[in-house]
Amino acid sequence: MTQLLSTDAVSRDQRLAYWTDMICNVYVQLECDAVHADDSGDFTGSIRQHTLPSLDMSVVTSGPQKVVRTPGHIAHSSDDFFLVSIQARGQGVVRQDGRDAVLSAGDFALYDSTRPYELLFEEAFEQIVLKLPGDRLRSELRDTESLTATTVSGREGAGHLLLGMIRTLREDIDTLQPASALAVAHGVQNILVAGLQTLPAARAPSLSNLTAYHLARVKRHIDAQLADPMLSVGTLAAQLGVSVSHIHRVFKSEPLTPSQYIWERRLEACSRDLLEPRLAGRPVAEIAYGRGFNDAAHFSRAFRERFGCSPREWRQQGVSSRIQ
């Protein structure tokens, strides 16, 4: 789904206040001021917002401004998102956790809505902003606090791939089928994670070949048995002929524990099944049971925490996209 929001909808003297309301509704609660006091009467801006499963992407075009998320905003909100600012035109600064990321065209940086941050743009600019559920990214990256407000170049490596995918997505987003949109959202996140993992703070000691082999072996067994409600770390250990402590050791460098990984994989599989047209007539509870959940209410709560909506709402978004 795509919508366009613009300060052109109101008179000049109301535009900055209207813009502040817009960015609060699209992102999180914030304060916004013109960089120069005499600019407030001439302020203009627009946001083109695109919504994909588990990922919001928006294109912000605006004049100079300073945006601040304060401890007060955080105290009155349960928002938990990571935002990624991809500079498309002009220059911007992302400040969080004692660091400043200076962004030129093609660069991007991560920031976390659960802690204060500041965005500064001293000239007109365009940014592409990705908004992702906090738990989702923390399941892929360790120590995210050390990765915020750090510039990732879009001119090489994973950053360059991310920019290419984002450009393609901007052109084709309105024609994607729900299952394809979900795959693209996952692809964007995977490349984003790869880019963030190139930062010095993310570099952990490499796994030995033996540990990497055992980790891949455990994950293969998990993926092959998601439908089994009895699947647990204990049953995995028995099947593989190893100890429970061994499985925990091979997961030591992973963001998720073995049990969390099982839940994450089950939820991801259910999210795909709910958007699959061939399964449109299958009840939500049956889909959950087919992926190893044994309590429909518990599944629904876990799904909402992970994806920000109920399983039925998730499925309905897919139906609406196909109709459009």
pTM of the predicted model over 0.75: no
Give per-residue pLDDT as tens, 189-243.
888 888 888 888 776 556 678 888 889 999 999 999 999 999 999 999 999 999 9
Taking the C-alpha atoms of residue 197 and residue 80, their distance in angstroms, rounded to an integer, is 21
Domain segments of the chain as ranges: 2-202, 209-323
CA distance 67 to 34: 9
* Domain topology for 2-202: Jelly Rolls (2.60.120)
b/e per residue, 275-288, with b = 16+ CB within 10 A? beeeeeeeebeebb
Please tell me which residue, 320 or 243, carries the higher pLDDT value.
243
Closest alpha carbon to 209 in 246, 248, 250, 245: 250
**Exposed, middle or buried, 88 (CB in 10 Å: 0-12/13-18/19+)?**
buried
Do residues 54 and 307 make contact, with C-beta atoms less than 8 angstroms apart?
A: yes
Higher pLDDT, 182 or 303: 303
Residue 76 pLDDT > 80 = yes
Instruction: Identify the pLDDT of residue 283.
Output: 95
Reported confidence tier of residue 175, pLDDT bands at 50, 70, 90: confident
Q: Decide: helix, strand or coil at residue 243.
A: coil
Query: In this model, does residue 321 exceed pLDDT 60?
Result: no
Average pLDDT estimate for 27-41: 80
Tell me what pLDDT residue 254 has: 83
- According to the model, what pLDDT value does residue 276 have? 87
> pLDDT at position 38, please?
62
Q: Taking residues 141-168, what's their average pLDDT?
A: 86
| Max CA separation in the chain (angstroms) | 72
Count of CB atoms situated within 10 Å of the CB of 157? 14
Please state which of the ranges 57-71, 129-143, 293-307 shows the lowest mean pLDDT: 129-143
Topology annotation, domain 209-323: Arc Repressor Mutant, subunit A (1.10.10)
- Rounded-to-integer distance, Cα 24 and Cα 28, Å: 5
Q: Which has the higher per-residue pLDDT, 42 or 18?
A: 18
Instruction: Report how far residue 320's alpha carbon sits from residue 156's, in angstroms, rounded to the nearest whole number.
Output: 37
Which one has a higher pLDDT value, 115 or 309?
115
Q: Please tell me whether residue 174 adopts helix, strand or coil conformation.
A: helix
**110 SS3 class:** strand
Average pLDDT of the segment spanning 11-19: 91
Residue 149 clears pLDDT 60, i.e. is over it: yes
The angle that helices 233-240 and 209-224 make with each other, rounded to 10 degrees, is 110
Q: What is the dihedral of CA 247, 198, 58, 18, to 10 degrees?
A: 110
Strands 99-103 and 125-133: unpaired
pLDDT interval class at 291 (50, 70, 90): very high
Same fold, 2-202 and 209-323: no
